[in-house]
A and B are shown apart, each in its own frame.
Chain A
Amino acid sequence: MSILVYIENVEGALKKSAFESLSYGKAVGDLTGEKVTALSIGNVSQEELNKVGQYGVEKVIEVNSSDLGQFVNQAYASVIAEVAKSIDAQTVILSNSFSGKGLAPRIAAKLGAALADGAISLPTISGSIWQIQKSVFSNKAIATEELQEQKKVIALTPNSLEATESAVPVAIEKYEPQVAAADLSTVIKDIVRATDKVSLPEADIVVSAGRGLKGPENWAMVEELADVLGAATACSKPVSDAGWRPHAEHVGQTGLAVTPNLYIAIGISGAIQHLAGVSASKTIVVINKDPEAPFFKVADYGIVGDAFEVVPQLIEALKAYKNN
């Protein structure tokens, strides 16, 4: 019996969430005494694959066939399940990333496994029953899910558990999967990626702004603040509805749920639907000119003031801090 960790890459570079999944896999392996193997699909360099060892995992299975160069949900799910069977893995771990959300249920169904998606804790193990926590009701509560099946698939929420390093040497083993033509029926026509920006779901720091900013022309200062902090940018729903910012930046109940270390909310009222997607952030800073704005109730730090005065000063203060 063993544990399989699927590690995602973007254009050949392993994602931050891949390292989180590896650390998680290693920690689960320490609990169960099972060996942990990583699985990479796509064209990833040896140098990049060697990084797996930094997280305590000694073996990587590398699948690099030309028809699997890009992510195809059905085909990747088949390959992951096939590899899991070939090494007798009882547990498959992956990130609950955008791709992971598509993969996890398919892999679980193929293996007849219990699925814990959106996991935010390590399992508590008693016999074959594992208990794992996840966020439910749009972050308003935490549920403890009991996995009763011997086989398990765990999809880990990005940013919920930090990657921890413990270096070991890595062996890389190539694997040729049997991919059925039917699994490759989805054709990727185009991929558009904003390479110069920090990816919002994985960001450690998120700078977010709302209708208080009055219009898209005022976002330059938000971008600048994000730049200084190495942060991703986000927005409230009315802002993306109005077309001031792309929908992909909209966070909240109907947008993206994020869990960064630091969330800075500028000119956002803190409506319950907005909080649903951001209240699990570790530290929250709110800048709002209305001292009664509901966001102050969930914030760690607050500044009551006009964003157009406060944000430029904050940028200056951060620059001064960075230069020190």
Chain B
Amino acid sequence: MKILVCLSNVPDTTSKITFTDNNTAFNSNGVQYIINPYDEIALSKAVELAEGEKGTVTVIHVGEAAADATIRKALAVGADDAVRVNATARDAWFVANQIANYAKSNAFDLILTGRESIDYNGAQVQGFLGELLNIPSISIAKKLEINGTEASVEREIEGGKEVLSVTLPIVVGTAEGVAEPKIPNMRGIMTARTKPLQVVDAIDVPVLSKISHYDTRAPRGQVKLIDKADIAQLVQLLHSEAKVI
């Protein structure tokens, strides 16, 4: 089984988010980048599925050379090889087109993405890929099992879950529950350096949308502390002031 895992390189979860150029661009100065946490789940699942010669795992990232450290980390976790499409990842439509273009000439049985990235929170790449490759795509998978050419996927629905059966090839957007993120061991880190990382050129993709500017959220006012001996006051305030009950 050939598995492709799409990796997004995102600011570390604790990063302070600021903007430059009159709030039109993200300020990456001093920001530590990591594998998108959901993609980490996808990668761990892929490595699990491929274990014992059952398959191969290729990771793909659309981005600049600065992301090579993140890609090497994925190789250390257990991916066999990596591809970087050398371009600025303009938006999800651009990224999905690059990945689809690569996948078209490299028949994969399973393509995994995270359910969304924690920077732009798009959840778009999995659906775009499904459509561009004309195969099923499943968003927000909580469980994934492969049996021959059949996948059994548990998908999150509002207030419950749905169990799907679908024939490969498919695209799956993974969420918590699919696998526990793996931590690279020493051997993995050593071998990662020697694993192939292929750099390919990007294809042209028309611009459909772009972010014009950013705003930071207005800070909340001071918290109103209520004495625990006077809880009725909280109820009163929620009714008359906040108007939420």
Contact = CB atoms under 8 A, between A and B. Distances in A.
B238 A309 contact: no
A317 B231 contact: yes
A147 B208 contact: yes
A279 B217 contact: yes
B192 to A, nearest CB: 25
Contact of B209 (A149, A200, A303): A149
B214 A143 contact: yes
Interface in A69-110: 71, 73-74, 77, 97-99, 101-106, 108-110
B161 A136 contact: no
A307 B33 CA distance: 37
Interface string A230-274: 000000000010000001101001110100011000000000110
A144 B215 CA distance: 8
B49 to A, nearest CB: 20
Interface string B120-160: 11111111101110101111101000000000100111111
A302 interface: yes
B93 interface: yes
Interface size, A (range) = 35 or more
Contact of A188 (B164, B211, B236): B164
B224 A310 contact: no
Given A131-B212, A144-B215, A137 B17 contact: yes
B64 interface: no
Contacts of B126: 102, 105
Nearest to A297: B223
Interface residues of B, number: 80
What DSSP secondary structure best describes chain B's contact surface? mixed
Nearest to B13: A273
A285 B234 contact: yes
B242 interface: yes
Nearest to B224: A301
Contact of B159 (A74, A116, A197, A300): A197
B124 A115 contact: yes
B211 A253 contact: no
A253 B13 contact: yes
Given A145-B209, A317-B234, A189 B165 contact: yes
B231 A229 contact: no
Interface string B163-196: 1111100000100110000000000000000000
B127 A104 contact: yes
Interface in B201-216: 207-216
Given A102-B139, A194-B159, A109 B210 contact: no
A73 B137 contact: yes
B235 to A, nearest CB: 5
Contacts of A280: 217
B240 to A, nearest CB: 11
Interface in A302-324: 302-305, 309-310, 313-314, 317-318, 320-321
A286 B119 contact: no
A77, A147, A254: residue with the most chain B Cβ atoms closer than 10 Å: A254
Contacts of A73: 130, 136-139
Contacts of A320: 232, 235
A185 interface: yes
A211 B134 CA distance: 44
B221 interface: yes
A283 interface: yes
List the 8 closest pairs (A to B, CB-CB), nearest first. Answer: A105-B127, A193-B160, A305-B228, A102-B139, A109-B131, A114-B208, A199-B159, A262-B244
Given A301-B234, A303-B226, A314-B234, 10 more contacts: A73-B136, A105-B125, A105-B126, A118-B121, A143-B214, A144-B211, A144-B213, A190-B163, A253-B13, A282-B242
Interface of A: 10, 15, 71, 73-74, 77, 97-99, 101-106, 108-110, 112-118, 131, 133-149, 182, 185-195, 197-202, 204-205, 229, 240, 247-248, 250, 253-255, 257, 261-262, 272-273, 276, 279-280, 282-286, 296-305, 309-310, 313-314, 317-318, 320-321
10 contacts: A106-B137, A117-B122, A143-B120, A185-B167, A254-B38, A254-B118, A257-B121, A272-B13, A301-B223, A321-B239
